Structure 1
Amino acid sequence: MGDMALNVFALFVPMVVVIVILAVFLSFVPLGLWISAISAGVRVSIFSLVGMRLRRVRADKIIRPLIKAQKAGMNVNANQLESHALSGGRVDNVVDALIAAHRANLDLSFERAAAIDLAGRNVFEAVRMSVTPKIIETPWISAVAINGIEVKVIAKVTVRANLARLVGGAGEETIIARVGEGIVTTVGSSQSHKGVLENPDLISRTVLAKGLDNGTAFEILSIDIADVDIGRNIGAHLQIQQAEADKQIAQAQAEERRATAIATEQEMKAEVEKMKAKVVEAEAEVPMALAEALRSGNLGVMDYYKMQNVLSDTAMKNNVGNTDLTKMFGANNDTDGMPKV
């Protein structure tokens, strides 16, 4: 019994070792993927698959696109695809773009397709756009004609991707901005909004002639005006605002002049009050001056009485003259203020 157990143990241990070795081998080598590649006519060695696993590259992301490329007749190898995958690119997308470009007779190499993909653009969509142009619709673009009427325009821009300018070329936002600028310029140079409504194709012809696709990743094929609408009377609105502003300025200036006049009047009143105060002060000094003259002998008593008599006579004559004039002109005045004859 002991010898039999030893024999069974001796047979069991090698089998376990073989199973462990096979498990480790299959964990590093995708055997099913290797068989699929061989059956598709793609020559890939076991060691290449093991190397991809060690470099932490998913073999299925390389082998399956490689099978598609080779079946489509593309000259692409596993090293190129693996290098692109290690750079962070989308291998499957690049291979689909190459196949689509090859079927459409477009000149697109693997290096250019990989560069476009690494630049962050969808190279497959770009190839499709090169074959089937895309229509970009602008939002409502507001412009004002010379007569002050606002014109709103929606344009549809038909573009085709330019594969040679995809790397470093501007995107759709630039196309929309340039078309909007061209519409504003064209409408702004029109004498009247009626001319824009009568010939909307003038906008598309003028904008298209400006070469708006320079420096972009697209080629503009056509610009079509989809809708034209009339907005506000901007000129009249601006005139109303200007008139209101002029009115406020005039009111402010009038208020300033009024404040200046009031200040001047107050200053003049203050000056008059000062002069009155000086007169009162001077009149108060007259008796003192007369008393001093009497004391010093410069003025005699009889001279003082004579001066008082002269002043009294003068006051009486003034009163009599005023009374006579009042009686004469007050009793005989007509409605026009002239005395009757």
Structure 2
Amino acid sequence: MALKSLIARLPYPSRSVQRAIAVAAVVAQAGIGVTGSVVRVTGSGLGCPTWPQCFPGSLVPVAHPELETLNQWIEFSNRLLTVVVILVSALAVLAAWRVQIAHPERRRALRLAWAMPGGVVLQAVVGGMTVLAKLEWWTVAIHFLVSTPLVWLAVLLVRAFGEGDEPARWLVPPLAKKLLVTLVVAMWAVLIAGTTVTGAGPHGGDPATHRLDAPIEVLAQVHGGLLVCYLLVLAMFGLVLMRGGTPPAVWRRYAVVWVVALAQGVLGSVQYALGIPEALVSLHVLGSALVIVATAALWCGCRDRGPVVPAAPAPPQSPELTTA
């Protein structure tokens, strides 16, 4: 395969390079969601009213009497950030592929790496649908929710670059494992409920966008109630861990989840009490990404796949040594 032979000629990425690329993937996948929220709260969602062009016949913003120039460039800048995500995703694939060529057993990191550009393609399709649907609230919700598993997978990629490829061995008791799975389900329930609050809220991306016709007070209570459920499961998980034998690294990750989740809950309450100011909306979206990152890191820390392979393949022995 010509492409594989070309990649095999690339320098073998060091551990630090592998980790840096994977961390960049986490930042890129989370960051595109945050910048998307900036587009929404500034009412710039239709600054580029067509897709994939910004205007019919133009890939870039053009003067238009019905559109503010600033709104056009905010939306266009968010589209340009997709290029950054694509570049980071391509680097992740190249690094994982180069490692897999040297160590054929290391397929898991490559599969996770391929999810990055695959997710970009999916996000591009959903983003186009969102624009063509004139930012209907449910399309915006899907656009956001598609990015959440990509953030999760990027965290798993960070871990995959730094561990072996043995079958996963759980470091926590079976009950804790079940609670951890429940915690992940609860996390996504909180995220989904949050999109309904956004759908009924004042920031739709464009003043003329249709909003979810439901009482935002009720939706916010459901969203908050699910967060409480998430925290209760997190607390029960910690109680099970107290039975002993839990590695210190798991406890550290567990503490980080508490800090991030509580901060996100406080931020959401303040945001609602103040009438959902624009800046706090974007901070809340950032907080949701951090909750995903922290929960995914806890998930990874509760499993062990053995030591990572050597940083580079061992050099072949000389014929003299092999025949001696």
TM-score of the two chains, using structure 1 as the length reference: 0.19
Q: Compare relative contact order (CA 8 Å, sep 6+) and give the higher one, 1 or 2.
A: 2
Structure of higher CA gyration radius: 1
Structure with the higher strand share, 1 or 2: 1
